[in-house]
Each structure stands twice: as structure tokens, then as C-alpha cells.
């Protein structure tokens, strides 16, 4: 489960649309995503970018969760 909690990988192009980033997935570690579009809300605040995931179920707890990725410009 440690890998699940610490790993996320996909590749492809993206477009921005009204507070959402749309990732056009060409390759992914998660076979469920296939080659699809993933739409995620984002917040750009100064030098901080936060992308929120779609709601999902945590496999260890069974609870519904929403993850977020935070990037900071250095």
C-alpha cells in the first residue's frame, strides 16, 4: 500500500479550461485510465499550483477521498 500512497504517473498533453486542467493521457501506470482525458480542478496562487484529484475510494480504509498535488516554484 505504500506504493499506492506515494506513486502517480501519466504522460500526455494538457489543455486549460476555466479552472480545470484536462490531461490527455497517452500512457499511465493505472490501466483503468487507458488513453483518456482526465479533468481536474486546479488553483494557481502566486508560486503555488494545486491540482485536485477526482473523488475515489482509499483501498486501505474504504473511505471516499480526494487527493491533491501541490507544486511550488523554487
pLDDT tens digit string along 19-69? 999 999 998 887 777 788 989 999 999 999 999 988 888 878 889 998 888
- Long-range pairs for 50-59: beta carbons < 8 A, 24 or more residues apart: 51/21, 59/1, 59/4
pLDDT at 10: 85
Three cell numbers at 12? Answer: 500526455
Domain residue ranges of the chain, discontinuous segments joined by +: 2-72
pLDDT of residue 4: 60
pTM exceeds cut of 0.75: no
pLDDT of residue 33: 74
pLDDT at 21: 94
Q: Does the pLDDT at position 3 exceed 80?
A: no
Amino acid at each position: 500500500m505504500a506504493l499506492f500512497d506515494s506513486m502517480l504517473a501519466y504522460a500526455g498533453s494538457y489543455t486549460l479550461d476555466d479552472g480545470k486542467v484536462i490531461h490527455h493521457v497517452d500512457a499511465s501506470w493505472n490501466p483503468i485510465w487507458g488513453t483518456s482525458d482526465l479533468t481536474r480542478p486546479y488553483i494557481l496562487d502566486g508560486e503555488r499550483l494545486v491540482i485536485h484529484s477526482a473523488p475515489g475510494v482509499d483501498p486501505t480504509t474504504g473511505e471516499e477521498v480526494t487527493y491533491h498535488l501541490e507544486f511550488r516554484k523554487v
